[in-house]
Amino acid sequence: MATVTETKAASEDKELLISGSEAVAEALTLADLDVVTAYPIRPYDTVMQAIAKKIANGQLVAEYIVAEGEHSQFEIVKHASTVGARVFCGSSGVGWMYAMECLVVTPPLRVPMVCLVGNRALDDPGAFGVEHNDALVVRDLGWLLCWIDTSQEALDTTLIAYRVAEDRRVFLPLAISADGAFLTHSQAITMVPPKEKVDRYLPRYDRGDLLLHPDNPITVAPQANEDWVIEIRRQNDEAMKRAVGVIEEAYADFRRVFGRGPENPWFEEYMADDAEIILVGMGTISLPIKVAIREMRAKGKKVGLVRLRWFRPFPFERLAKALSGAKAIGVIDRDYSFGSPFHSGVVANEIRASLYNADKRPPLLSFICGLGGREVTLEDVNKAVDMCYAAAKSGKADAKTHWLGVRE
Amino acid sequence: MSALICEVVYRGIFQKNLAARIVRGIVLSARKSERWGIAFGRYGDSPQRNGIPAKDFAIVADTKEELEQNMARYEPKHVDVTICVDDTLSKGVESWAWYGLQPINRLTEPNGTLLMTSLQPFEALLKDIHKKDAPYKLSLIRAKASFSGLWVYKEDHTEVRILGALAKIAPSFLTLDAVAEAIKEMEWGSDLKVASARKAFDRIETREVKITEGNSEVPYAFEMPKWWEMREGVTIPAIPIGKPKEGGQGYVPERNPYFKKFSTRTMRPVIDFDTCVKCNLCWISCPDSCFDVMPDGTFDANMESCCGCGVCEAVCPVEDCITMVNESVFNDNASQWEAWRKDKTGYKTWLTATIGDKKTTVRSHGFRFRGQYDQELKAELESGGIEITAGIPGENADRKTV
């Protein structure tokens, strides 16, 4: 339950103790959401409940449609978005997979729906814990994908998400990933800005000549053959490329209006400037890593973290720059990609590819850890760092992927 | 080193099994002389749609390498023989896939052959077939279009007659004996079919076509937009609202300028404007919105957008007010209403003669076919021509059957 703790006299921000999911609901209220659809699945359902409460309390006026499944849930917001509604949707794990057909069509139709994926392991076995594979299944399809770490980032990123997705240069769906349990169910002190600031930041959604309206008669999604499809894909490619600049604009403007937010939208660099070893990960995995880094720094080990915020578009050039100075890189994936190069996780291989053109390619070690919501322990992190140091010393990474925290 | 490339242009669904048999037959016949081959289909749509022009191809070559060389593209850009199994396709081919209208002889090589099944004289066909900037041969087998359904082939021997005729056109690839041997080995082969193939070999009629001959109309075409010129979001503008026909009266809707659909048609409605009771049923029922409302309240079927489905004829409550007539009777898409307005007596005379000809008002296709194939076949074998003994009734069956 959201609790108002105290309003700072000097700040217009309201301070609330809320979970990541509740922070998203706060942002949706500030963004004056029009249509939201819901179908319960843990851990996403926490955001759906938080929005329902906002509407019930009269804080938000929006259409709240309970669908009969995720497929309809995403179809409904897709159509609402084409008639000009600001929409929100979301799911988790296999629920997200059930919506797959609708997830596939939203990028070519240029529907800027914003979604929350409460990351959850894919069945089987039926499990509630976090893995990133659910959101990652759409990584090649034109979805903008980002991972958040804190309730504050949940709120801020949701506002930024509408600004980016609904930009006419982009018009792509955007999924915000939040680690199940660690973020969706953890309440933290969060600054909620006043509506006036949000109104200054977030323009109205204007679908322009793509608006489905009697005054703008159009046909959306006709059948097409090989003479048209590749051109449509190329349009999507361009929109994704344009998103890079739009994201940078959106973060710069966010800092200007709200007086906070990162300078580098793409990834958080924690003690990475002078680091010999840089660990890379996404989401709440940053917490044990940061604690471990502080302990290691105290012992004189120069270790740093790059926590990826944006996975699509993937900041390959900036990452190559940030990582190529290290003596070794350790990528910790909270996902799997069976049969992939080096049997690594998804992020490790994306980073390997990003470094391919770099002048200097440090040894890269690949780790899989924390699957199914298992705790990533300080011991796991220390083990990874030790292996990175060994690789740094030999100047060569072993060509295999290490599973950490697995019973063996 | 040489290869033979053939296309079969056919009507989607109605002739898909016929076309598949022909291209398989070509490859298997050429195999008798140790040639390598491939038979394949290309279409703008899957599943195909009723009547929409579609294509199958057969390539046979002396060596595997040469075959690959000819296969390494989506579809052949030039063919030695264009086989057209419905003569109403002579007006051009517009597939579902928004290519514009393509002349039936577009891919035919200079001095190549366009082989058609038709009952029309050469001169009548050349009124429809577009001019080509190179001479070619037009070969005919006297037969009406063999139409059937999705899963079936009407066993009227059209497939073997085409193969027999092809043995005459390209004997170095398919000898008549090789064709006969291949037919016998087919699961659908028989001695009677071999006899049909041999007769077609003897009866094929061929005529040189000069570059000065043919329909001089320029088929409509359009430039496909670049990716950055296309509207985003898989979105296309709707067809705008139409205008009154003239003097504020009537109504003519705007239509898709890129997809006219008329090459799908094998029959067209012929309308008696004198007996029309202006009930609107044809206008409401037409799935392609092809009816224009005339200033006098009658309805003129726009021949650029009519697919020839025949729904208008079925729903029209007035006897002989709308009659479907075979497309081969017509050489243009001109307005019937304008012709009627200009000369009402002349129009009536033309209409009476046109809809009174049972041969051209017999349904070309339909779902309730109960044809007497055996009788048709007998006439075909005996005369070399074809006598129409059965129609395809569909709606108004009693009046549409000979």
d(CA A119, CA A180): 5
A66 within a domain of the structure (yes/no): yes
**Backbone angles phi and psi of B51, in degrees to 5:** 85, -15
Residues B201 and B285 in one domain: no
B69 within a domain of the structure (yes/no): yes
Beta bridge partners of B398: none
d(CA B174, CA A153): 74
What pLDDT score was predicted for residue B97? 62
* Closest residue in chain B to residue A173, using alpha carbons only: B233
Q: Which helix (H) or strand (E) holds A201?
A: helix A195-201
Q: Where are the alpha helices (DSSP H) in A86-171?
A: 93-98, 100-109, 133-136, 151-165
Residues A245 and A277 in one domain: no
Cβ pair B95, B45 in contact under 8 A: yes
Residues A214 and A124 in one domain: yes
B107 within a domain of the structure (yes/no): yes
**Chain B neighbors of A235, CB-CB under 8 A:** 227-228, 230, 232
Residue in B96, B230, B240 closest to A231 by CB: B230
Structural domain harbouring A187:
3-258
Beta bridge partners of B209: B136
Residues B268 and B357 in one domain: yes
B230 within a domain of the structure (yes/no): no
d(CA A337, CA B357): 70
B249: DSSP letter: B
**Chain A neighbors of B52, CB-CB under 8 A:** none
A140 within a domain of the structure (yes/no): yes
Contact A227 B237 (CB under 8 A): no
B252 within a domain of the structure (yes/no): no
Residues B180 and B115 in one domain: yes
Cβ pair B152, B18 in contact under 8 A: no
d(CA A123, CA A125): 5
Distance of CA B329 to the CA centre of its chain: 13
Q: Indicate if the alpha-carbon torsion angle A180, A184, A188, A193 is positive or negative.
A: positive
B241 within a domain of the structure (yes/no): no
Residue in A220, A225, A230 closest to B233 by CB: A220
Chains A, B: CB contacts under 8 A, how many? 70
Give the three-class secondary structure for B276: coil
Contact B228 A218 (CB under 8 A): no
A40 within a domain of the structure (yes/no): yes
Contact A108 B233 (CB under 8 A): yes
Query: Of the candidates B315, B298, B305, B332, which has an alpha carbon nearest to the alpha carbon of residue B396?
Result: B315
Structural domain harbouring B317:
262-361
Residue in A171, A219, A226 closest to B238 by CB: A219
| pLDDT tens figures, A72-117 | 999 999 999 999 999 999 999 999 999 999 999 999 999 999 999 9
**Chain A neighbors of B224, CB-CB under 8 A:** 227-228
C-alpha distance from residue B138 to each of B105, B220, B335 (Å): 10, 23, 30
**Chain A neighbors of B236, CB-CB under 8 A:** 218-219, 222
Residues A238 and A281 in one domain: no
Beta bridge partners of B3: B61
Per-residue pLDDT of chain B (402 residues; tens, 9 = 90+): 699 999 999 998 889 999 999 999 999 999 999 999 999 887 655 556 788 888 999 999 999 998 888 877 777 889 999 999 999 999 999 876 667 899 999 999 999 999 999 989 999 999 999 999 999 999 999 988 888 877 788 788 899 999 999 999 999 999 999 999 999 999 999 888 999 999 999 999 999 999 999 999 999 888 889 999 999 999 999 888 899 999 999 999 999 888 888 999 999 999 999 999 999 999 999 999 999 999 999 999 999 999 998 899 989 999 999 999 999 999 899 999 999 999 999 999 999 999 998 778 877 765 434 444 555 555 555 554 444 444 333 344 454 443
Sequence letter at residue A96: W
Residues A161 and A300 in one domain: no
* The total number of structural domains that make up chain A: 2
B131 within a domain of the structure (yes/no): yes
Cβ pair A119, A177 in contact under 8 A: yes
B382 within a domain of the structure (yes/no): no
CATH number at residue A344: 3.40.50.920
* Closest residue in chain A to residue B233, using alpha carbons only: A109
Give the three-class secondary structure for A63: strand
| pTM over cut 0.90 | no
